[in-house]
Structure 1
Amino acid sequence: MTTRYTSAPAADLDGTQSVIDIAQQAVEPVLLEAGNVYAVRTPGGGTQTLNLTGPEYTGIPARKAGNTTVRDATSFQTYFDKHADASTEVYADAERLTVTAVLDAHTADTARWSGHRLTLHLRKTEAWAQWLEHDGRLMQQEQFAEFLEDHLPELLEPSAADMLEIAQSIQGATKAEFQSSTRLSSGQRQFAFVETVTAKAGQKGQLTIPETFVIGLVPFEGSEGYRLTARFRYRLNREGGLTLGYKLERPGDILRTAFQDVVTAIGEQIEQPIMNGTPA
């Protein structure tokens, strides 16, 4: 018997050879560790780099970044102590009421990212904003009296009780025709009026208010309190009406002093100098 051998198609031989080639190139699997860089050989005889140092492999950001904003010096100090180093830079800006720390600032010899920052952005208190809002504005008697009553906690001299009595006197004279104003030797201002309500029509009276008064205000949240002097303002119109108000003495100076006191308090707790300005 004659046995015949038939050759396999060329395509089948090529496929088998590919499998053999891949099998010969296969290696035992190796466990790669995150945080390292590996060079591996490719099937074509070259090399490929595997970088496993990124945060998607390690779970750790490559560097600290971001700008944290705090509202008082104590919070600023807490965050600063945790992240600052010897090359950290600190800037104070009186116009913006900010203190900014560049925690990863450049060193003398090495450039750094300067992307991790801490900013103290002082926020004015509601009481400060309200007193400044009405500064220099004349109000109707009842409106002015209500303003004083709403802000009794800030009134220092005369006392809150005395100022409450003044406010009540102002309210009680809203239905009156004011005729004259006299400055007393004590510095107080006395207004003469005539009642116009039906029950008291023609009845004369006097309203006395101090020339100045002193208030105590906390300019910024978390800061100390400061004393401000206010001068009473008034106007008598032709119809016998009286409008009242006050003018604060140099509140801008108090605000700058309060900011500088915050900067000084921070400077006493850190080793880095505080520069005047803003970082790049």
Structure 2
Amino acid sequence: MSIDTTDNARTLIAFAQHAAAPVALEVGKYHVVRTADGFRTIDLTTPEHTGVPDRKTGTTTVRDAVSFAAYFTKHADDDTELYADADRLTVTAVLDAHTATTARWSGHRLTLQLRKTESWTQWLEHDGRLMQQEQFAEFLEDHLPELLEPSAADMLEIAQSIQGATKVEWQNSTRLSSGQRQFTYAETVQAKAGQRGQLTIPETFVIGLVPFEGSEGYKLTARFRYRITKDGGLTLGYKLERPSDIIRTAFRDVVNAIGEQIEQPIMNGTPA
């Protein structure tokens, strides 16, 4: 009688597989194990097993130069690239940028996205718009801390004079030799009908604004605007002189402040 050696071999292999002692698999490596159905690859290099991401990814957004420099110093290396975009008001660092000879992921980034202050936004929102007397006077009162020349106290007095001359008929305006503008009005309330008065305001005034959160303050000149309407009313406003130049200057100063804290050059543009 013949013996089937193939069946015996299979039996011995199966027995050996079940009899083998368990072996601990090392985290962070690939393993190939024998199963009843063949061979199986076990990958223990992935983050869910190691607890550590395979590389740094994501974009962190900060709002001022100090925060940008702090994060940059922690994560940058000699091949990190920086780009300043004056149109978008952003500074972007590609922390894992390509080297001169090796491609890298370019997936870990830091972006400074400047945010305009509320006071800057409000002054620009009303720039060139004529307002009713009381509305304009209230605007000046709400922004006294930003009024530099004339002083806040003098501008408050002007605002109060504007508020006190609401029930009048505005007749004409004259530019004085001092550069101020003088308005003449006549009272219209019954008790004072016919009485005349004058309101004098400066031709220009200077304000101090911080364009971006965390940035420096800058001076802007504003020119008074006015219109005497056909029915004897008066509307007032202002026109800021070249506020876009201030934005460009403020952005350049932020970029320079970053450049003083780091060694890598800052390029003009945006990364790929």
Fold conserved (TM > 0.5)? yes
2:62 paired residue number: 70
1:2-41 CA-to-partner distances (Å, cap 9, x unmatched) read: xxxxxxxxxxxx8x99765422234221111101122334
1:253 aligned to which of 245, 268, 272:
245
2:195 paired residue number: 203
Alignment of 1:1-280 (within 5 A): 21-26=13-18, 27-42=20-35, 48-280=40-272
SS in 2 for 1:262: helix
1:189-230 CA-to-partner distances (Å, cap 9, x unmatched) read: 000100111221111000000000000000000000000000
Unaligned runs of 5+ in 1: 1-13
1:126-165 CA-to-partner distances (Å, cap 9, x unmatched) read: 0000000000011111110000000000000000000000
**How many residues of Structure 1 are paired with residues of Structure 2 in the alignment?**
265
TM-score (norm 2): 0.93
Name which one, 1 or 2, has greater alpha-carbon Rg: 1
**How far apart are the structure 2 equivalents of 1:188 and 1:21?**
106
Letter in 1 for 2:84: A
1:81-125 CA-to-partner distances (Å, cap 9, x unmatched) read: 111111101111111111010101111111111000111000000
SS in 2 for 1:246: strand
**How far apart are the structure 2 equivalents of 1:17 and 1:64?**
51
**How far apart are the structure 2 equivalents of 1:98 and 1:58?**
36
Letter in 2 for 1:39: V
**How far apart are the structure 2 equivalents of 1:140 and 1:42?**
86
**How far apart are the structure 2 equivalents of 1:145 and 1:176?**
16
SS in 2 for 1:68: strand
TM-score (norm 1): 0.91
2:4 paired residue number: none
SS in 2 for 1:206: strand
**How far apart are the structure 2 equivalents of 1:255 and 1:17?**
84
Letter in 2 for 1:38: H
